[in-house]
Structure 1
Amino acid sequence: MSDPRNTLRSGLPDRYLTPDDIAEMFEVPKETVYQWRRKHMGPPGFRIGKHLRYDPADVRAYVSRCKTADQDAA
Structure 2
Amino acid sequence: MHRADDELTHGRKVYVGNLDPESTSTELEEIFRRYGKLSNIWVARNPPGFAFVTFEDMRDARDAVEATDGILHREK
Question: Is the TM-score greater than 0.5?
Answer: no
In the superposition, the TM-score normalised over structure 2's length comes to 0.32
Higher relative contact order (CA 8 A, sep 6+): 2
In the superposition, the TM-score normalised over structure 1's length comes to 0.32
